[in-house]
Each structure stands twice: as C-alpha cells, then as structure tokens.
Structure 1
Amino acid sequence: MELVTCQDFVRLHLRLLEMEHRQQRERQRQQASGNLLSSVAVTAASRTFCGQRLVLRSTGPRARKLPRHSIRANDHVITRRASDSVVARRTAGRTASREPVPGDVWCGVVSRVTKAELTLDFGEVTSLVVGEPVSVMRTDDEMTHKNMVKALEELAEAKGGPILRMRAALFAEHGPPGTGKTATVVEVILQHQRLGQRVLVCAASHNAVDNVLDRLEAARGERMVRVAVETVKDIDVSDDDDDDDDGDASEHFPTDGKAPFDLVVIEECSQALEAACWLAAPLANKLLLAGDHSQLPPMVLSREAAEKGLAVSLMERQMALHGAAVVRMLRTQYRMHEHIQRWPSEAMYGSLLEAAPAVCRHRLSQLPGVRDTTETGPVLLVVDTAGCRLEETPDSKMGSIANEGEADIVVAHARALLRAGLDIGQLGVISPYKRQLDLVRARLRQLRLDVAVGTVDGFQGREKEAVLLSLVRSNQRGQVGFLAERRRINVAVTRARRQLFVVCDTATVRSDAFLASLVDHLVEHGEVRSAHAYRNYLGVAARGRWRWLDATEAGEP
C-alpha cells in the first residue's frame, strides 16, 4: 500500500465520506414509504450496559410478521409512543431530523431485524413497558457523519499530543475465526486495569461492544460511561470510586492536552469505517486494533467510495503498511474440526491456523443425544446439483436469486439432523441470497421448525455445531455473482464447528478459482453426493425441472 501524507489521506476520505453520505440519503429517499413502522408493540424489555434493549412485534392481524418496512440493522431510529404516531406519519416521507423531539420520544439503533421482530438498543432507559404500542421511524444519521468529518479535520491539523504519540504504540490483534480474539481483548483490558490504567473500548456496532462487556461482567463486573456519539461506547475500568457517571461523557475527557485514557481498544476494527475509528483513537497514547480483515469489511453503500478506499479499514491499512511490526496473529482456533479449518487456513491465513486438541476431531455424534447416522457422520458433506437442472431463478422484485431445489435439499438435511437428535439451536442455515433464505424459512415454517436462518452478514460473530450452506448459483454461463467475494465465503464456512454441509452446482461455482479451491477441498476431505439422491424430497416446483434418472440409480440420503 502506498504511503500518503496525513493531509492527502484526510482530503481523500472527506470526499469519500460525502459520497457515502449522499448515497445514504438517496437510499432513504427511495425507501421513504418504508421509513415508518407502526402497528408494533414492545414484547420484551431488558437493561443493557448502556441503557435498554426493546424487542418489538406486530400488533396487526398478521402478528407473525412485521408490516412492510425498509428499516435495517444499524439504522438509527426514533421510537415514539403510539399516541405520537400521527406526527411521525407526517414526516415519514422526508428525511427525519436527529434533533431532540418533545414528548415521549427516544433515539436508538437497530441491532437486529427479522421478519417477525425488530430489536432496538437505546443509550438510556425508556419509560416504555411490555405490551405498549409504539411507532418506529428511521432517521438520517447526521450526527455520526458530522463527527467523523470533524475527527478527520482534527487529524489533519494535529501538531502534537496523544494523536502523534500514539503512532509509536500501535498494535493490531489479528483474530481469525474461533481463535479467541474477544477473550484476548478482555484479558488485555483486565491486565491494564490491574496496573491502575484507564481503558476505552469501542466498536462500530452495539453487539460487538456488548459482547466484550458481557465477558468483562462475567470476569469481575466493570463500570462504564457513554460517549456523545451513539455509535461509539466506552468502558471505564479504572479504580476510581466516583459513581457520578450520569453526565455527558465529555466530562471524563480532560482538555489539558493529556490523553484521558491509557489504552483505546477498537473491537471488530476491520468492520468499522476508518473515519469512525478516529473518533476514539486520539483519546489514548496506545491503540489496540482487534479484528480480522479477512472477514466482512465495513458496510459502504457507495460503490465508487468503496472502490476508492472507504471500505479499507484502519486495521487493514495499518497491517499493509507495517506488517509484522505491529501485528500479532492468533493461530490456535477453538471452534472448527480440523477438516473444516484447513481450507480457510490455506486460502485466507497462510496455512498458519491450527485446531486446538479439544476440537480438532470433534463430531456431531459426540454431542449428547445425537446418534451416529449417515447424516451426522460426515464432517464435510457436499451435495452436487450439476447436471440435475436445479437452476437458479432470479426475483426481479427483490433483486435477488433463489434455487428451489437447493432449498428443498437443505430442509431435507436439516430434518435428518434433527431426527438424529441434534438440538435445533445447534443448527444454522446460511445463504448469501435473501430470496433463498425466504424459501428455506417458508419450508421450515411449514414443518414448525424454528431453525436459525440468515445471510452471511447476519451470522458473522456467531457459530453453530452444524452449518448448512446453500450457494444458489446454477447457470450455463458460469456466473457466480458476489459468491466471488472471498471474505464472504470465508465467514460462511467458518461458522461451522462439527459439520459443514454445502449444496451447490459444482460446474457453475468452479468457474471461480477461489470457489473451485473450496469444492476441491470438500471433495478431497469430505463426502460427495449427487442431488438425485434427494429426489424424493423435492417440492412440486423443483420436480417440474428435474431430469428424472433411472429408478435403479435413485436413492435416499
């Protein structure tokens, strides 16, 4: 990576941030009709380290499903009591303000979205109670944008102080999947606390910070303060016994030029915009970046801004510039069977990963209550649909792609694992395509099976004993779309602990060299089945395209 001056870097990123901000506003304008979500009520409320978490469900006639909306995870929202919804309706068609609104109104961030539920995190405790109807409106996140711009401008003007001293104390913890990155971060925090030092921990998402805080609380319970920017949280692990932590966080930041913290930790740094990291980085003389740049990058809507560098995280850039001088890679992973681990290790991590003895040979059948069957036995199992005419079908309305036959095969294998005794919470279904997930969910719902189903993005940071991966793409042109995104496939594969089940058209996915290496690994170290073995499980839609084979060749999985 080419070295640039601080001023040139700031000028470039200010332009890229403006591109991204325009794209965000354009998306809101196009989806204005979905900015408002009404006819929902609070179904669960719990305290968090920084405030409160609320879970909302529909109160309408179709209570199993939320009304149509366009609110997504990490969106900033305004939540009102239902009595205030008339005001919300008037402003739903235009960009909402982040300025305080009189009345029972709370600003929060969406942490999770499913078809049935919306989970919101607030930096304060609301007066809402379970059963109370509310309305939720997505807002334009002007505050975070302005703060990132300000942080970059201050970076360009810095002449001394912590921001320059920090350059001599930069450290990056590269934590591939399952290597205990968060546990290591927590230990670093606790060791600094034992030395009487102050530590600031932050991340781009509430979930990432809460994950660290959960582990800290389990270790010894720690106090925390909340900074002014809603997307950044911090944690005060000093030995100061002053309990007055309810004021603005700026009260904790001295203005005498000294760093208010001894260490800043940016968790999941590889998923954060670099400009956001500079909100916290100047607050200490030492900076620890924790993450994995081989997993999902920061989410950037503007393709032009991403291609020009906005999607490159602070961690990835520093690793490219300084390499081993600032990076320590965790090499022992405690999640995956060695056969699952070997491919990402070779493809993404220079063959440096090793499986801990406790997990290197663990299998599904070793779990309590799980029988050893033809379905639970394999660690790697690939079902090949090549030549079976189970082709992809585009969905023009959703702008997504599905594969009916693959959905049927995934559900058939899920049923087989559950019948063999696998707990439903130990099973997960992943696909890069949302339309495919809709098909799988619908089939599982018909069978009354509440299996975790999600996109690659939704499963980052999670793990399951068995992961069923549907790659969807099957066409004569060999087009694989964004399956070619290496980091996305890496995340999907490394969610599995004891079994990785992949259904795909090997003829199509082999057109990409990276995907071909995955198929080769599955074939060499796992079990391969033809999709025709699942013919009896295919739905009516898929049967219409099925090329029936001779009855003597047909079998069941």
Structure 2
Amino acid sequence: MPGRILAMAHDAVPHVVNAVVLLMVSSLHGSFSFSFSSLHPASRSLHLPSHTPSIRKLSCFDGMRNSLRLSSMKLADDRENTTDLVNLLRDFRNGIHQEDESKLIFDAQLSSKDRALLHEACERLGLGHESFGQNEERRLSVWKIQTADRLEDIENALRIEKTAARKQWEEAMAFSEPNEMEAAGMLLLNARIQNVDVTDFGRFKWTLAEDASRKGHMTRFNVKTGSPVVLAQRSKSGQWQASQASGSFGFIISTRRGSLDVIFEVHPDQVENIENTESISLLASPDSVTYDRLLQGTRKCRNLGGDSKQILDMMFENDLDDMVLLMSETFVRLNLEQKEALNTSQQFKLEFFDSMLNQEQRDAVEKCCSPQKTSVLPIQLIHGPFGTGKTKTLVEIIRQRIKLDQRILVCAASNAAVDNLAIGLLRADPNLQLARAGLPERVDEQLSGVTLAALQKKEPSAALSKSLFQQANEELRVSEKWRRSTNGAAIRREARKESRELFRDARQLQKEAVSATLRKVRILCGTLTGFVSALQEARDDELVLFDAVIVDEASQALTAAILQTLPYVKNQTKQSVYSHLPRMILAGDHRQLPPTVLAEDRGARTVLQSTIFEELMERDGGGLGGNKAIIRLDQSEIVARAQNLVSANLSEGNLGGQLWSQTLFRQYRMPASLMAFPAASFYGGLLRPECQNAGGYSYLNCSDESETSLLLRKTCLFEAIDTAGAGFDEETVTSAAPTEGSRSSSAVLVRDFSTLNREQAELTLRIVRELVEVWNIPPHDIGVITPYNAHASLLRERMQSDACMQSIDVSTVDGFQGQEKVAIVFDSVRSNADCEVGFLSDYRRINVALTRAKRKLVVVGDSATLTSDPVWAAFWDWAAMPGSGDAESFSIAYRSYYE
C-alpha cells in the first residue's frame, strides 16, 4: 500500500537479545529499510538512506495520559524537504517508534548543505553528531548523549569560558599603559577611602571618593552596580596589576558622581601589601564568582534524586514514552476516590484571577496549574514571542500555584526581568508574601521595601546582629592604634580575638534573621545566580526548598544557570491530585538572542549557547512557526508572508499547544505594519496582530511643518532609509569596553576592535531630533539601538551636547533585549565595499532590533552592504516593494538618502 508503514505496534514489539527488527516501508517511489540491533548498546544504530521520508507521529493518551500508546505512523514523502529529515531527528531524540537504538547513520547521498543543516538541527535537539568518510562516501552519524556526559560537557565549557574571560582581561592589562587604562575605564587611580562601615554578614562597605587634585577622574572608571573589582598594586616593572592578597576582591554596590561604594570581605587594615590605607587603586575585574557558582551548581546535579532527578532526566535523557510512563506513576498511586474526583468534579476547574487573559494564555495557565489539563510531565514551556503577554501569563500561573499553598522560586537571566515579574505580581496582589533576593542597589526602587535585606531588618535578631558587627569593627580599629606600641602585638592579638568572636555571634544572629524572613516568604524572586547566595545563610534546610521553579527569559539563560535551581526543588512525599503538576516552568523566546559567550573554542561556544529552553522547544515541535521558521530561508516567501500580515490575509498554521509547550501568538505591542517582517521571517507568519491602531503617537501628533523639509513621513509608522551610495563608510576603531555583544553587568572590559560610522550617526541624530521636535515624542519614549559599542558611544557623546536628547536611551541591540520604547531608531552601521555585515547576520539579532518599537520604527542602513545577507535582502525587498503597506496610518515607507 503506497505511503503506508507495515510494522508492529510499539507496545507489541518484544525485547529479544540479539534480535534485529526490520521495518519495511513501501511508497510510490519504491521501498527502503532501516534496522537496529540490540547486540550491544554501543552497536545499536539506525541506518537511513538520505531520501528517507519523515515518519510523523500520532500519539494517543488514555485517561489522564498515564500511558502512551503510539497508535499509528504516517509517511510524508517529500525527498526535497529538509524539514522531513529534521522531523526524523526529532522523533529519534524523543524515542518515538523506537526500541533502544542509540545511533542514526545517514547515507552518503546527503548534500553538504543538507548535512550542515542537520548538524545545526542536532545542536538544537541536544544530539551528538559527526560527519565521517571522504568525498562521495561522507556520511553523518547521530547519537543520544547521556546525562552524565552532558553535565561533563557543560562543566568543561564553563572552565573554558572562565579561562577566556580571564585571558581577555590579562591581555588588556599587559598591553596598556596606566594612562590608557585609566582613560579606557579599566583603572581607578588613587581613590580616597572616605568611610568604612560594617554590613550584613560582617562584610565591609568601603566608600571611595575621588582625588581632589584630579577632579572628575572617577567618572571614567567603567563600572556599575554589581561589577567585580580588585585592589591594584604596582609590579616591579611599574605596571599596575591585580593584588594577590587575601580580601582583595570586591564588587560595586553603588555609583554616584565623585564616589563609589564597594563591598569587601575585610577591613582596609586587614589587607596585606596596601601601602596607604587612606588611598587605594582599583582594577575592573573579570567575574570569576559567577563561573564558580555555575560550576558548583552543575556538579551538584550529578547527585540529584527524587523530583529534581526527574526534571534533569526530562532535560537530557529520557525518551518521550519513558517520561510519560515515569510521571504516570504519580497518577497510578492516587486512590480510587481521588481519581474519580479528578475525572468528574468541577472543583478542579480554574477560576482565573485575570479575566482578560486570551485563550492561549489560559491554556498555558491550565497546563501549569490544573490537574485536569496538565501533561503530567515535570517541565512545562511557554513560548512567548515579543508582545504576546508572557509576563501577564506568568503572573497568573504564580498566583494560581500560591492558591494551592505552594512556595515558588521565581528566577530570570537578568535583574530587569526579575524586577518586571515581581512588580507585575505585586500590582496584581499587593498582599503577596514576596521577597526579592539580590543586591538592593540593583533592584528596582519600586521593590525596595520587599528586598530580603529590607525584610530581614524587621527581625529582632537583625538589630542585635548589627550592634555586634559594629562592636567587632570597633575592636579592629582599636587593635590598629597599638601597631607601633612596645606591647602592641599582644594587645592587637587580644582585640582581634575579641573581634572574631563578636563577628561569629553576629553572623549566627544574622542567619536567624534570614531564616525568620524566609519562613514568611511564599515567593522568592532573584536572578539565576543571585538567589543561591540568598539561601546559603538559611539555618533550616526546608526553607530553601520550593514546590515549583519558574524561569523567565529562559532562552537567554545558560543551561548551567537553570541547573542551579534543581537542588532547591522539594520532593513530594504526600501524593495528591496536584502531585503531577509541572515542577519547573520555563518561559522565553528562542528566536531571540541566546546567552553571551566569550570563549573562542567552538565546542565550548556550542555547548553554552545551546540552551535547554531551545532544545526542549525543538523536541516539542519548535514553537511558533516550527518547521516553517529558519530552515531554508526563501526570500520571496518572506516578502509574501509580510505582505499578507499587513493586509490581514493571515495564513493558517499549527498554533498553540504541543505536549509540553504552549505558544502565545497574539501580539499586543505593535500594529501589523511593524510586526509584519519579523513575524514572517522568524515565526512562520503565524503571529496575530491584536494592536490595531497606532494609539498615542501617530502623524496626527506631528507639528504643522512641510513634509518636504522632513526626513520622516508623517503617515508612516515604519520607515527604511537607505544610505547606499551616500559614501557613509564605516570605520574600525580600538576601544576598551564590555565585550561586543555582551548583555552582562559584569562583562569583561577588553581592548577590542569595534565599528562605527560617523556620517550615518549624524543622520541618525537628525532623525531623533525630528522625532522629538516634530513628532512630539518625549525623549524618554525614544530608543536608539545599534550593533556596536563604539557607535553607541559616539551617539551618546553627541547627544550629551543637545539638551533635547540627553535623556534618550542609547544601547547596543544585545543590551536592549527585553525592553521596548514608543519609537525606535535602528542604526545598522555597516557600509563597506566587501559587503561584510559581521554579526548582523545572526537572525536573532535582527529579530531583537526590529521588535522593540511600539509605534514608530526607523531603520537606517546601507542596502548595498546588508543585502549580502539573505534575511536583510528580504527586508529591503519588502520595504522597497510598492504597496507593502496599506494607505492608512499603518503604511510602510522606503526612501533613499538622496530623496
């Protein structure tokens, strides 16, 4: 029978040692076979000809999905479609229609392009892969990787990344003169120690002021809250280097004009080799603490058990049917009365706190909170493209889980994302028992009253602890007064002994305050690395365990960072109908930028940039657009999709939920004209625009001025200004700045090459001034984004001389991810005879750049250079095409710089 597979049902295949199972497939184009052998685990392999059609799955779950029965398989025969082979890899990764085979081998007829695409797909799916053989005999081997090997790969990659960060920093130190280092913001010379205070857990806050004879020199030190620093000292050769003395490393907690507050573990008098304790020098330092925490957390995952181990297995190892059968044991253990109630009772139907949630948002909430709707798997994913209400959905999920009397750990990759979610929770319910972990100085001021530090101060033991810390500090001061006395050594020893005892007692009282605070907290919010330090001081192990972990921005987080949360997942000892709700909920958008990685080693970069969010999304169909998004880019198809979106001719597609993921596809940030191109290019044309009017800022707000004198058109919300042929040539410059493309607050300062374009910057400034003066858009509602640090610095410097533009936010694309503004100007910078676009070729960077605007987007770029990239070529084709927008206020405009 053409197009049908003749095979035994999955659960009917006996496991026989030394057996070879053959599945014969007939089709219109002939037949082929593939086989696996169970002679030995290492030898199990599935041999496939390159034209193998995709085996698509139809899965059937009985009752509460407590068992998986693979009821049928359908053959989709399309030899030319690489998507079919990707689907086959996905089925292999999930264990669909297989017994125990551990390897796939593709025959040699694969083209090099298809082989490259399959290598990329393997990275996204978490599969091992290797091409072998020569010339016409070159083949592709694919295999599954065990959890222990995955953890080892992550640890090795983290070590390489830590070394790369340190190496970049050391190279910058070695080749820089002191005046260069200071001018570049890498060195702070001769800062005066203005004051020293004891803080929580006996650490010391050094308040540093600038040298009065060198007024303004402190403002050049390129650090911000959270940045690591190290005490600097001169080497014998006269160069400044990091001090190796104990207690030399600290971090910035606040910056003000002319002063800095730095936290150190010791008092200045306790640091060896400081010649003058009244004046010190600092170096910006690489962040080794974060890498050490990630390594430690990853090592802990080797010994996980219980519910945490189930989450880890779903991440890395278990096949789909294994996962469902494993989790169904929870359901099986329910008694008959509980099962009957679950199937019939209305008491488990959710009552939503937020009545304005759309259907997909409600579906996501139900999968995470309803025992009648959950997939029974330990992880649930939410794919939330730009403007689809991901934060709103997570707020509802957290409130529903709190209603079940659960404790929730809420994390994200950045402080901004954590604050955004915490603020959303408190706006929805100000009475939530929520605490924000982390440095108070790095937390949004709206949350200042709910930081752990603020809440701990309310505990009685905290006041006593503070008093003891102050006494201990005073004992240290006393000891130093006797430094030159005849019998001073004995007096100093006694004073320091007394100080140590006071510090010990104070720390114990501080831990009591921490524990008392955590007992009252139902929601703990913090970054993926910051929350760990907040829990280390708790005295009761139960206080550091949570019923569920929710991670926002999971697509921007290193897999190692998400692994940090697993040891803090509580094991469920009492079974109930809620026992099989997901224990980990990850939300993000893998079509946007992944984590920043510094290492040049290709293997380490691949391991670190391949996030667990993307892997799980790809295993479950790929999210919005799925196979339609970025497999082979078809320029004409992208243009057609974009036109359809603007004209509301929406295509049909697979929207919403899969097995362990739920996609949000109704977009509320921007109207269709701004959404059209990124939606068509990166989401399969399946985003739905729900923002149907320009609202607030449109051409109706413009001043009465002749359009012929303006750069921008009053009737357009999206404009592309083409500088091709204008002679706006880019420049390569040397700069000392955070690593290009970095979003971290503790990014390594390096001497690096960056790119700027002076003439194009002037054009961008004219556009920004017009948005303020003609469009009447307040400066704080405007963002200017660009790919390169040097160009961003140039724009900031030029704007500081213009009062109307001083409050405009200027950032790199990477730094602006997660933010939005009413109006965005994107300056692409690149313009060169070789048509080099640099890392603008990363489609995820393009996606972020084009999706930050709510009402007005202006793209400035050289089409002659940018069209060497297929996505940018499609962009300029679409922007320049007549009729690419409608005749109303949503229209799209292209114009050359000469027009």
Aligned residue in 2 for 1:381: 719
Aligned residue among 296, 303, 309 for 2:600: 303
Moved more, 162-171 or 427-436: 162-171
Which residue of the partner structure matches residue 770 of structure 2?
416
Q: Is the 8 A contact 2:716 2:893 kept in 1?
A: yes
Give, in whole Å, the separation in 1 of the partners of 2:427 and 2:847: 30
**Residues 401 and 41 from structure 1, CA distance in 2 versus in 1: closer, same or farther, beyond 3 angstroms?**
farther
Look up the match of 1:142: 288
The alignment yields a C-alpha RMSD, in angstroms, of 4.2
Per-residue deviation, 1:362: 3.9
The within-5 A match list for 1:345-360 is 345-357=679-691, 359-360=692-693
Question: How far 1:99 sits from its partner (Å)?
Answer: 7.0
Secondary structure of 1:382's aligned partner: strand
Identify the match of residue 844 of structure 2 among 484, 487, 512: 487
Give the secondary structure class of the aligned counterpart of 1:532: coil
Structure 2 match to 1:217? 426
Aligned 8 A contact 1:469 1:492 in 2? yes
Alignment of 1:58-207 (within 5 A): 67-69=219-221, 71=223, 75-77=227-229, 88-89=232-233, 93-95=240-242, 107-108=251-252, 137-164=283-310, 167=314, 168-207=377-416
Q: How does 1:241-280 map to 2 (within 5 A)?
A: 245-247=513-515, 249-250=535-536, 260-280=545-565
Q: 2:731 aligns with which of 393, 397, 420?
A: 393
Task: Say whether residues 1:501 and 2:858 are aligned partners.
Answer: yes
Match for 1:320 among 598, 615, 618?
618
Encode CA deviations 1:254-300: one digit per residue, 9 max, x unaligned. 658x9921110122111221111111133226001121111121111
Distance 1:275 1:377 in 2: 48
Q: In structure 1, what is the Cα distance between the partners aligned to 2:818 and 2:786?
A: 16
How has the CA–CA distance of structure 1 residues 223 and 482 changed in structure 2, closer, same or farther, with 3 Å as cutoff?
A: same
Aligned residue for 2:85? none
Between 1:361-370 and 1:143-152, the stretch displaced more is: 361-370
- Contact 1:96–1:138 (8 Å) recurs in 2: no
What amino acid sits opposite 2:823 in the alignment?
A
8 A contact 1:203–1:268 mirrored in 2: yes
Give 1:10 shift: 1.2
Aligned partners of 2:157 and 2:605 also within 8 Å = no
From 519, 532, 547, give the equivalent of 2:898: 532
The answer to whether residue 796 in structure 2 is matched with residue 441 in structure 1 is: yes
Map Cα deviations across residues 21-63 of structure 1 (whole Å, 9 max, x no partner): 1001112212344544368899xxxxxxxxxx99999887997
For residues 358-395 of structure 1, give each alpha carbon's deviation from its aligned partner in whole angstroms, at most 9, with x where no partner exists.
x5544732787877984343111111111222222222
Following TM superposition, by how much is the alpha carbon of 1:193 offset from its aligned partner in structure 2, in angstroms?
Answer: 1.2
TM-score (norm 2): 0.49
Name whichever of 133-142 and 9-18 sits farther off.
133-142
Q: 1:400 to 1:4 in 2, by over 3 A?
A: same
Q: Distance in 1 between matches of 2:778 and 2:407?
A: 42
Q: 1:527 to 1:226 in 2, by over 3 A?
A: closer
Q: CA deviation at 1:488?
A: 1.0
**One-letter amino acid of the structure 2 residue matched with residue 395 of structure 1:** V
Q: How many residues align?
A: 496
Look up the SS of the partner of 1:150 in the other structure.
helix
On the 8 A contact 1:98/1:139 being kept in 2, the answer is no
| CA shift in 2, pair 1:226/1:386, >3 Å | closer
Structure 1 260/396 Cα, relative in aligned 2: closer, same or farther at 3 Å?
closer
Q: 1:122 to 1:213 in 2, by over 3 A?
A: farther
The residue identity in structure 1 corresponding to 2:811 is G
Deviations, residues 421-444 of structure 1 (Å, cap 9, x unaligned): 211111111110222223323332
> Structure 2 vs 1, CA of residues 414 and 250 (structure 1 numbering), >3 Å: closer, same or farther?
closer
**Contact map agreement 2:228 2:286 (CA 8 A) in 1:** yes
Partners in 2 of 1:308 and 1:231 — Cα distance?
A: 31
- For residues 588 and 281 of structure 2, the distance between their equivalents in structure 1, rounded to whole angstroms, comes to 36
Identity between Structure 1 and Structure 2 (%): 30
Letter in 2 for 1:407: A
Paired with 2:598 and 2:551, the residues of 1 have a C-alpha distance of 22
* Alpha-carbon separation, structure 2, partners of 1:207 and 1:123: 25
Can you list the C-alpha shifts for 1:174-216, whole angstroms capped at 9, x where unaligned?
A: 1111122222222211221122100001223222222222222
Calculate the TM-score normalised by the size of structure 1.
0.77
Q: Which amino acid is the alignment partner of residue 592 of structure 2?
A: Q
**SS at 2:895 equivalent:** strand
Q: Does 1:329 align with 2:663?
A: yes
**CA–CA distance in structure 2, aligned partners of residues 177 and 119 of structure 1:** 37
- What letter corresponds to residue 190 of structure 1 in structure 2? R
Matched, 1:19 2:166: no
Report the Cα distance in structure 2 between the residues aligned to 1:336 and 1:31, rounded to whole angstroms. Answer: 43
Q: Which amino acid aligns with 2:715?
A: G
- 1:472 corresponds to: 829
Aligned equivalents of 2:152, 2:289: Cα separation in 1: 20
How is 1:362-381 mapped onto 2 (pairs within 5 angstroms)?
362=695, 364-365=697-698, 374=707, 375=712, 376-381=714-719
Retained in 1: the 8 A contact 2:555–2:588? yes
Larger radius of gyration: 2
